[in-house]
Every structure is written in structure tokens, then in C-alpha cells.
Amino acid sequence: MGNGIVRDVVAAITAGGRSSRFGSDKVLALWEGRPLLEHVAASLAACPLRLLIAPPGRYELPGWRNVPDTRPGEGPLAALEAALRTAQVEAGSIWVAFAGVDMPRLTPPYWEALAQARTPDASAILALDAAGRPQPLAALYHTALLPHVTARLDGGERRLRAAALPELTVTVPFHILQAVSPDALRNVNTPADLAALGEAGR
Ligand SMILES: Nc1nc2c(ncn2[C@@H]2O[C@H](COP(=O)(O)OP(=O)(O)OP(=O)(O)O)[C@@H](O)[C@H]2O)c(=O)[nH]1
Ligand SMILES: [Mg+2]
């Protein structure tokens, strides 16, 4: 990954959604001739441990370990719990780069910019979008958050933005990310979103 700055991060792509707005499985939808899943995976290819959070056997991604949901069908916050748990078991206390499958414009420099924003106290690093809102997908989460995430899930919470503790979260300004990785936060929810993605590198 570029200068290798995020080699100490575990990669996790969450791909267990229903694609209900897309109308067919968006994980395998093609952009520039390759499935969305492969674009996101390419942005994290340098991470030594790579996890694909999805139902067993649904997708094959060489070099990526399939990790089933601990709470199947319960959404991306539950998928983050599965990712943090596996990362902790395999690698101990560590950062996890957590990505949606539907963000094909993510790049290694995007993740490097988040990684550079890490501080000793922080447990989440979130990008700010153009409107200044923190983005819970395509973010870094530390395994230290696992008890908090589990407790929120046990309490009925399902929103991914409940994962980060505000006082322990670092945000990265939109303009910094836009400079190194244009349109990295573009998210494909509908076929129209896919058509509007444009061309890589622009
Ligand atoms: N592992 C796992 N991933 C999920 C789950 N629900 C959503 N995701 C993933 O979370 C990311 C963001 O979710 P959405 O954009 O809402 O995707 P989606 O749920 O497939 O799409 P909609 O049905 O249209 O909401 C995508 O990468 C999804 O695949 C789940 O229950 N388990
Ligand atoms: Mg959804």
C-alpha cells in the first residue's frame, strides 16, 4: 500500500447486505469491468490480514478470509463486531479498516490519510464528507471498541454511526481526503449511483 503506512491495519470489507435499493447484488455489479467488491479490495490489498464479512460461501475473493456475521442480517454495526472480534483473535490490539463493498473509489492514499490521523488515545478515525458529516463506513476502528460495539448491539442499536465514541474519535477534513483520493466517499446504493461514478482517477 504505497509507502506501507497501513501495514499494521487489518482490512475488513462488509458485504452481507441485501442490495434492496440496487435491485440486484451490488457486490458483483461491474464498474470499469470489475465487480465493486474487487475495487474496494484493491484499496486494501497491502494489509497483511484481510477479512470479508459476508454469509459463508456467498463470495470468493482470493487472499481474503471469509468471516461470517456474528448476527446475520443485522446490518453493518453487527458486521463491524464480527470484524473487530476476528481481528482481535488473530492480531490482538489493532486497528481495523472497515469498508463497505459499494465504495469503489476508495484508494490506498485514502486509507493512508486516515492512518496518519491516528493518535494514541483515539479509537475511531472517520472521514468528513463535503457537508462536514462523519462517515462511519470507510473508517478506521480500533479493537478497543469491541466491548462498546457489543453492548450497543445487545441494547438494540443497529446504526453504524453508534460505533464510534465521540470523545475518542478523530475526524479527517474532506479537503484533505479529496486532495489525495478524489470522490473516495462515493457510495453506490442505486443503479443511478453506479452510472454517476464517472471514471477512475478523475
Ligand atoms: N456483513 C454484513 N454486511 C452488511 C449487512 N447489511 C449491510 N451490509 C453491508 O454494509 C454496507 C452498507 O450497506 P448498504 O449500503 O445499506 O447496503 P445494503 O444493505 O446491501 O443495501 P440496501 O438493501 O439497499 O440498504 C454494504 O457493504 C453492505 O453489504 C449485514 O447484515 N451483514
Ligand atoms: Mg442497508
% of the chain exceeding 70 in pLDDT: 96
Protein residue whose Cα sits closest to atom 30 of ligand 1:
75
Q: Which domain holds residue 95?
A: 9-195
The answer to whether residue 73 is domain-embedded is yes
Q: Are 161 and 80 in contact (CB under 8 A)?
A: no
The answer to whether residue 128 is domain-embedded is yes
70 is in an annotated binding site: no
Measured from the CB, is residue 74 less than 6 Å from ligand 1?
yes
The answer to whether residue 2 is domain-embedded is no
15 is in an annotated binding site: yes
Q: Are 14 and 99 in contact (CB under 8 A)?
A: yes
- Here the CATH number for the domain that contains residue 48 is 3.90.550.10
- Nearest ligand to the CA of 137 is 1
What are the pLDDT digits (tens) for 7-25?
899 999 999 999 999 999 9
- Residue 140: its pLDDT value, please? 98
Q: Are strands 30-31 and 9-14 parallel, antiparallel or unpaired?
A: unpaired
The answer to whether residue 3 is domain-embedded is no
The answer to whether residue 59 is domain-embedded is yes
Is the confidence at residue 201, as pLDDT, over 80? no
113 is in an annotated binding site: no
- Residue 2: its pLDDT value, please? 47
- Residue 198: its pLDDT value, please? 81
The answer to whether residue 107 is domain-embedded is yes
- Looking at the structure of the chain, the number of domains it has is 1
Which residue is associated with the grid cell 463535503? 130
Cα-flanking dihedrals φ and ψ of residue 113, to 5°?
-65, -40
Enumerate residues 6+ apart whose C-beta is below 8 A from 34.
none
What separation in Å is there between the alpha carbon of 151 and the centre of ligand 1? 21
The answer to whether residue 66 is domain-embedded is yes
Measured from the CB, is residue 66 less than 6 Å from ligand 1?
no
Quote the CA–CA distance of 156 and 31 in Å, as a whole number: 36
The predicted model gives 133-151 an average pLDDT of 98
Is the confidence at residue 57, as pLDDT, over 70? yes
Measured from the CB, is residue 20 less than 6 Å from ligand 1?
yes
- Nearest ligand to the CA of 153 is 1
- Judged by DSSP in three states, 36 sits in helix
Compute CA 191 distance to the chain's CA centroid, rounded to the nearest angstrom. Answer: 21
Q: Which of 19, 44, 67, 159 to mutate to test the pocket of ligand 1 (most atoms within 8 A of CB)?
A: 19
Assign residue 179 a region (left: φ > 0; alpha: ψ between -120 and 50; beta: otherwise): alpha
Measured from the CB, is residue 23 less than 6 Å from ligand 1?
no
- Residue 202: its pLDDT value, please? 54
What are the pLDDT digits (tens) for 73-87?
999 999 999 999 999
Q: Which of 28, 71, 101 to mutate to test the pocket of ligand 1 (most atoms within 8 A of CB)?
A: 101
Task: Return the DSSP state at 77.
Answer: H
Q: Are 184 and 177 in contact (CB under 8 A)?
A: yes
